[in-house]
Structure 1
Amino acid sequence: MAKTSPVYARIDTDLKENAENILHRLGISPSSAIQMLYSQIILTKSFPISLKLPYDKPKALGSMSHDELNAELSKGYESIQSGHAYTADEVDAMLDDAFGI
């Protein structure tokens, strides 16, 4: 068995809880995440890790609740009011990039 040493770090409680929730969803323990980080630092001689959860697929209109639909429509209206608008081609390109659709 490999010889191990403890690593102690003081971090913000919310940051720790949020990160550990994501690690749990990825199936990675906090200790494994630290070991992965240290291994990659040695291998690349840099700070290289880019782990992230996959994007959720966009919801179909029919699967949204009334409140969810209103919230999305409000965001769109506020975006238009603030001058942020996209052409249909731009939206298609963004959906293709983000979700492959």
Structure 2
Amino acid sequence: MATTSVTIRMDENLKKQAETLFDEMGLNMTTAINIFAKAVVRQGKIPFEIAADPFLSEVNQARIRESLEQLKSGQVMVKTMEELETMADE
């Protein structure tokens, strides 16, 4: 079977983390990517669910930015558990 090269761009830190994990599994990056590609072809889809992380929603990001600004300015507001639960329900 003929082989070909594929070049991809990836965050350097992600690559290092993936290589470390693959090494622990006894794989290299090429083998892991081939396993992924074969699963995609065999199943006719990405072999895992791809979904947005609700933590990264714009609302949460705005809250995080606001909290960081409060922390930087010394205006940290302590919330009660009830207030935190209400915020989580919004």
Instruction: Quote how far apart the aligned CAs of 1:49 are.
Output: 5.3
Residues 59-78 of structure 1: pairs in structure 2 closer than 5 A: none
* Aligned partner letter, 1:16: K
Give the superposed CA RMSD.
Answer: 2.0
Shift of 1:6: 0.5
Partner of 2:76: none
- Structure 1 unmatched runs, 5+: 51-81, 84-101
In structure 1, the residue matched to 2:74 is none
1:38 aligns to what SS in structure 2? helix
Of structures 1 and 2, the one with the larger relative CO (CA 8 A, separation 6+) is 1
Give TM-score, length-normalised by structure 1: 0.46
Letter in 2 for 1:11: M
List per-residue Cα deviations over 1:16-73 (Å, max 9, x = no partner).
00110000001111110111011000000011159xxxxxxxxxxxxxxxxxxxxxxx
Counterpart of 1:6? 5
Check conservation: 1:40, 1:49, Cα contact below 8 A.
Answer: no
Matches of 1:33 and 1:42, distance apart in 2: 14
User: Which runs of structure 1 show a deviation greater than 4 angstroms over 4 or more consecutive aligned residues?
Assistant: none
Q: What is the TM-score of this pair, normalised by structure 2? A: 0.52
